[in-house]
Amino acid sequence: MSDVSRDTMLLTTPFHSRVEAMCDLNDWGNWMGYTTPNAYFDVELEYFAVRSTTGVFDLSPMNKYRVTGPDAQRYLDRLITRDVSKIGVDRVGYAIWCDDNGQVMDDGTIFRLGEQDYRICSYQRADDWLAWNTLGFDVTIENESEAVAGLAVQGPTSCTVLTLLGCTDLNQLKPFGIAHYSFEGRPLMVSRTGFTGDLGYEVWVPPESAEALWDQLFELGRDYLIKPIGSHALELARIEAGFLQANVDFMPAEEVVRVGRTRSPFELGLGWLVDFKKPLFNGRSALLKEQEKGSRYRFAMLDVEGNKPAEHSFILRGNKQVGTVTSAAWCPTAKANIAYAQIEMPHGAVGDELVAEIYYQRELHWTRLLAPCKVIDTPIFKSPKRWQTPAPPH
């Protein structure tokens, strides 16, 4: 029933033929216009692949922008809040960028591929915004989103599997490091980055290599119990590991309609990514003012009593509503009930004891639960493997 004139609503990634073959549940979602699996066979088991063996997630729909030219570093320094000069060649930096009001637009990773050669990997599309920012800089921006296919290969046996694939000495690669290899005559780039909080890598190849890469990974990884994972399993892992998600934990500033719904880096617990030593960057003066006058909100990680996830809960102090939950999950490895919340200042400091107003349904019966919770200072899942170099074998 192929119809060349058909205007397909959802696109497929370069890995799709392989993804589809493994997607036993046939449970698909739409991620930025791409058909992506919510789950392949069992969310729980996929999640545990990331924590115990190797989980593979197709992240090709991520937006990728190449920034080159004599002013590339200066340009990025103006763009993002942290000091770009501190990101060495073949290193990756986690970064956020703000609008002129100091409100977070997106977060992402900055890959430094050469002296004046960077790639921004972002959740949101940023063509327009990146273009406006080039004024006064000698840089070229290229949208590489479709030119680079990517797989997150995450979990305790991931280093071993990728080494078998030909990534020699990968265990020596430090966290946030980049290594370059070739795969079937084409470039293959590995970065020790990820969204799961454990040992893990992201593998970047031209789309033409995608299917062969997938096939070899799963062939070589079989003895290391490699499994594909969908977006639901990744969501569990990222909440447990303490990562924020655009459009879930904050609204990209330029898309916000209603007054007051944007958030600053400080309000998202990302103040450590703001470097005021830089003389100029987008949002600097607004953020300086905020630092002086104080923020409106505070990002809090909550350890919630009981085992009911505090999804969409109001957070109370006494009878007063002081915040709302943005992400919540029962974390299967940490065995803890974790929620991320936006809390009105001055509440929500580490150690504060609050109450989550949880609603849950069983057999069409709704129950309201007031669960005490406590603000914790670090993510509940902390794997030493994430930081170890050389990377452990499993």
Is 196 an interacting residue with respect to other proteins (CB under 8 A)?
no
Is 321 an interacting residue with respect to other proteins (CB under 8 A)?
no
# of chain residues touching other proteins (CB under 8 A): 29
Is 145 an interacting residue with respect to other proteins (CB under 8 A)?
no
Tell me if 360 sits within 8 A of 313, measured CB to CB: no
Tell me if 55 sits within 8 A of 155, measured CB to CB: yes
Choice between 232 and 382, CB closer to other proteins: 382
Is 81 an interacting residue with respect to other proteins (CB under 8 A)?
no
Q: Which of 316, 336, 345, 376 binds other proteins (CB under 8 A)?
A: 336
Is 368 an interacting residue with respect to other proteins (CB under 8 A)?
no
Choice between 141 and 239, CB closer to other proteins: 239
Amino acid at 70: P
Least spacing, CB of residue 158 vs other proteins, in Å: 11
Is 362 an interacting residue with respect to other proteins (CB under 8 A)?
yes
Choice between 39 and 92, CB closer to other proteins: 39
Q: And the tokens for 343?
A: 């809390």
Q: Which of 6, 86, 320, 335 binds other proteins (CB under 8 A)?
A: 335
Tell me if 66 sits within 8 A of 118, measured CB to CB: yes
The helix (run of H) or strand (run of E) holding residue 235 is helix 231-241
Q: How many Å apart are CA 303 and CA 22, to the nearest integer? A: 36
Is 306 an interacting residue with respect to other proteins (CB under 8 A)?
yes
Stretch that binds other proteins, among 46-54, 85-93, 178-186, 246-254 (CB under 8 A): 46-54
Least spacing, CB of residue 34 vs other proteins, in Å: 24
Amino acid at 78: R
Per-residue binding string, other proteins, 200-219, x by CB under 8 A, is --------------------
Is 367 an interacting residue with respect to other proteins (CB under 8 A)?
yes
For residue 346, say if its preceding peptide bond is cis, omega within 30 degrees of 0.
Answer: yes
Q: How many Å apart are CA 254 and CA 251, to the nearest integer? A: 8
Burial (Cβ within 10 Å: 0-12, 13-18, ≥19) of residue 118: buried
Per-residue binding string, other proteins, 219-248, x by CB under 8 A, is ----xxx-----------------------
Strands (E), the chain: 27-31, 34-39, 54-58, 63-68, 91-98, 104-114, 117-122, 140-143, 149-154, 178-183, 186-191, 200-205, 226-228, 297-304, 314-317, 320-331, 336-344, 353-362, 365-376
Q: Which of 23, 330, 341, 348 binds other proteins (CB under 8 A)?
A: 330
Least spacing, CB of residue 243 vs other proteins, in Å: 18
**Residue 4, SS3?**
coil
User: How does DSSP assign 163-217, residue by residue?
Assistant: HHTT-TTGGGPPTTBEEEEEETTEEEEEES--SSSSSEEEEEE-GGGHHHHHHHH
Least spacing, CB of residue 275 vs other proteins, in Å: 32
Is 99 an interacting residue with respect to other proteins (CB under 8 A)?
no
Q: How many Å apart are CA 299 and CA 198, to the nearest integer? A: 23
Least spacing, CB of residue 362 vs other proteins, in Å: 5
Is 379 an interacting residue with respect to other proteins (CB under 8 A)?
no
Q: And the tokens for 383?
A: 């794997």
Q: Which of 52, 134, 143, 171 binds other proteins (CB under 8 A)?
A: 52
Which residues bind to other proteins, rule: CB under 8 A?
A: 25, 41-42, 44-45, 48, 51-53, 156-157, 160, 223-225, 306-307, 330, 332-336, 360, 362, 367, 381-382, 394
